[in-house]
Amino acid sequence: MKITKFKFLVFLFFLGLFLYYWGQPHPFESFKNDISGLFNTEKKKAKEPWTREGRGDTEASDTKSNEDVASDTRKPPKDRTIVDILKDAVEEGKSVLPSPSGGTSERIEGLEQFIPSAKNNTEIVRHTAFMLSYQEEYEQASWVLHILKQEASEGTEPRSNEFMADPKVQSGSAVSQDYSRSGYDRGHLCPAGDFKYDKALQDETFYMSNMSPQAPDFNRGIWSDLESRVRKWAKERGDLVIVTGPILSEGLSYIGKRNQVAVPEYYYKIVYDPNAQQAIAFLMPNEGSHDLIKSFAVSIDELEKKTGIDFFAKLPDSVEKKIESRVSIDDWF
In contact, 186 and 176? CB cutoff 8 Å: yes
pLDDT tens sequence across 101-114? 344 444 455 678 89
pLDDT tens sequence across 286-313? 999 999 999 999 999 999 999 999 999 9
Task: Tell which wins on pLDDT, 180 or 76.
Answer: 180
Query: In the structure, how many helices (H) and strands (E) does the chain have?
Result: 10, 11
**Structure confidence at residue 58 (pLDDT):** 35
pLDDT tens sequence across 7-18? 777 777 777 766
What residues are annotated to the active site? Answer: 188
Task: Tell which wins on pLDDT, 79 or 197.
Answer: 197
The C-alpha angle with vertex 179 and arms to 175 and 182, in degrees rounded to 5, equals: 160
Question: Is a pLDDT exceeding 90 seen at residue 156?
Answer: no
Residue 120: Cβ within 10 Å count: 17
Query: What span, in angstroms and rounded, lies between the C-alpha atoms of 230 and 224?
Result: 10
Task: Tell which wins on pLDDT, 42 or 189.
Answer: 189
305 class by beta-carbon count within 10 Å (0-12 exposed, 13-18 middle, 19+ buried): exposed
**Structure confidence at residue 20 (pLDDT):** 63
Domains and CATH numbers, the chain: 48-331 (3.40.570.10)
Mean pLDDT computed over every residue of the chain: 80
pTM of the model: 0.72
Query: What span, in angstroms and rounded, lies between the C-alpha atoms of 141 and 132?
Result: 6
pLDDT tens sequence across 237-273? 999 999 999 999 999 999 998 999 999 999 999 999 9
In contact, 204 and 144? CB cutoff 8 Å: no
Lowest mean pLDDT among 67-76, 164-173, 230-239: 67-76
Question: Is a pLDDT exceeding 60 seen at residue 98?
Answer: no
pLDDT tens sequence across 276-289? 999 999 999 999 99
